[in-house]
Structure 1
């Protein structure tokens, strides 16, 4: 069967593949952006053959897209001929990230939390059914690799930050059922809350306590405590700050016992203004 020059045909995963959003065909600049997004998944570089296979578009099409990205400085080739993100892309990404007002304001708080608890601190926002990590600070020593990364995502229902922010939006079981929809919630660990009733109960508890907790529900061996922060609105949280800790060295009850210290380190950012 012959390949076509556009995504979404019989020989191409198209929008259901790793690069697109369902329901449309990638053409022109969309195709270039799809290659860029896929390229970002390979920090160690990727060859043309492999990139072509993963994207599912003709080699000539992928090669042209890479050429356009290289001319713009958004892609490059290493000494082995493998394609990597270009220095210009990295410059723009880091410059934008460092200049974001929320990142600038919240980073000192994350640094203080990471130093105090000796664990990783995050700032995350809610985006639909997921949380997006806007900032992350590892502790001075003893850092471990977590699933979180700046710009990365995790399911909202299995994270402390997600449940904390969802608790403000989903007040009834009917609202929680509508939010879940027809697709089942992902079970990240044996402790993940996956039924509407279980999640709704957790959200009610979260509202009562004023903080979000994740007891190894998103990642086995890792628990988390989260509090809201008010960076863009005096009354509605822009997101949440959390401490993600290894359960064996900082159990969840230890984090909860230190809640007053957590709040003190947040300072005015953790207080709504009416």
Structure 2
């Protein structure tokens, strides 16, 4: 079943005739992107009625957004008429992901670490106040695995990867305070750093050790160790590799004791080149 027609009587302005044309176009683009992002939440597809309810826009608006996405190959419909991400979107996403040089170079290391520790290995980068997972390898065995996903985000101050990368950017208490600004640090658990002073102390420890630890600061029952990766810059880490472990399987002291082994697995990527 295909749905390519635009409903009769609908317009591109969605009743916003009082808005300037440029503003209306921007709103329309935002709506199309909102529909695209929402489709990603429904791998089995979603009906127009439900999508309209979730987006909170009139049905003709959502329908037109879906039409634009379908024409670009970024959305499609299954045999039941439910909407889902299109093959072209998936092709673009995976092609872009696979073309990242750091991902290609780090992936074998993640596989080796996941196999060695029986825990999940990540490669992540810093994006503002958050870290973004660019690659992930789950352990080959073990019934319990982490729910992190490629492209997923977590607060930088609550993660080993985030603290590792922040330590290379925020070397004074004043810099930490400026980075926090007016937005308080989110307390993900009772272990999370909540003040500039606490975070500054953590970053100092990271610089002294050369690696970062997450002692159940982002998620109860999960700890982590992260080391820097110098894949794109000769002097500054482009990201970090981490081993995230369930505390009952791999205590934090076990991860900390393996820091040199994890760095060794990265080889030249673990060291700056001056």
The answer to whether the aligner puts 1:5 opposite 2:14 as a matched pair is yes
C-alpha displacement of 1:221: 0.8
Per the alignment, do residues 204 and 154 of structure 1 end up closer, same or farther by CA in structure 2, a change over 3 Å counting? same
Counterpart in the other structure of 2:188? 188
Which runs of no fewer than 5 residues in structure 1 stay unpaired?
10-22
CA distance in 2, matches of 1:128, 1:235: 20
Counterpart in the other structure of 2:235? 235
Counterpart in the other structure of 1:94? 94
CA distance in 1, matches of 2:102, 2:33: 27
**Matched-pair contact (CA < 8 Å) for 2:138–2:145:** no
CA distance in 2, matches of 1:219, 1:255: 17
C-alpha displacement of 1:39: 1.4
Counterpart in the other structure of 2:61? 61
C-alpha displacement of 1:6: 7.4
Provide the TM-score with structure 2 as the length reference. Answer: 0.88
CA distance in 1, matches of 2:25, 2:207: 43
RMSD of aligned alpha carbons: 2.0
Q: How do residues 196-211 of structure 1 correspond to structure 2 at under 5 angstroms?
A: 196-211=196-211
Provide the TM-score with structure 1 as the length reference. Answer: 0.88
CA distance in 1, matches of 2:46, 2:189: 31
C-alpha displacement of 1:181: 1.2
**Matched-pair contact (CA < 8 Å) for 1:6–1:26:** no
Which runs of no fewer than 5 residues in structure 2 stay unpaired?
1-12
CA distance in 1, matches of 2:259, 2:91: 38
Alpha-carbon deviations, 1:217-267, whole Å to 9, x = none? 111111000000100111111010000011101011001111221111111
C-alpha displacement of 1:210: 0.7
**Matched-pair contact (CA < 8 Å) for 2:168–2:236:** no
Alpha-carbon deviations, 1:117-156, whole Å to 9, x = none? 1111101011110001111111111163424211111000
Per the alignment, do residues 111 and 243 of structure 1 end up closer, same or farther by CA in structure 2, a change over 3 Å counting? same
C-alpha displacement of 1:32: 1.9
Per the alignment, do residues 6 and 245 of structure 1 end up closer, same or farther by CA in structure 2, a change over 3 Å counting? farther
Task: Give the structure with higher Rg (CA).
Answer: 2
